[in-house]
Amino acid sequence: MHQPSSRTLHRLAASLATTVLIGSATIAHSQTAPPAPASPAASPAASLPLVAAEVRKVDLRAGKITLKHGEIPNLEMPPMTMVFVVEDAALLEQLKPGDRVKFTADKRLGSYKVLTLQRDE
């Protein structure tokens, strides 16, 4: 039977030692690394910019509002007039064309949605 040479055994030992060291370092790092800080319990809309707008049309049944709005930075959208879906249709109940509002909007599931909406008095 052929016995491995001392050179082969030396390479095998070095390779095994390197593997063990790398594995140990990875385990040690995963056990001592502090967890990522939890984000505050603020709503996602809280970090979005408030945008000034004028109500052009309110569609309670469809839960939509047409707004002539200023620039919406988070959507990289210039000022324009457009229709938005409103996440909470109850926000529309007290609004009428001509009202000035401030709102937050985001793109969700392929459509632009108003997340918060308040009269601008």
Domain map (residue ranges) of the chain: 44-119
* Antiparallel, parallel or unpaired: β 51-59 and 80-86: unpaired
Rounded to whole angstroms, the Cα distance separating 116 from 103 reads 5
Q: Are 92 and 63 in contact (CB under 8 A)?
A: yes
Q: Under CATH, to which class is 44-119 assigned?
A: mainly beta
Rounded mean pLDDT, 13-34: 57
pTM exceeds 0.85, yes or no: no
Q: What is the pLDDT of residues 75-96, one digit of tens each?
A: 999 999 999 999 899 999 999 9
Quick one: what percent of the chain has pLDDT higher than 90? 57
Torsions phi, psi for 9 (to 5 deg): -65, -40
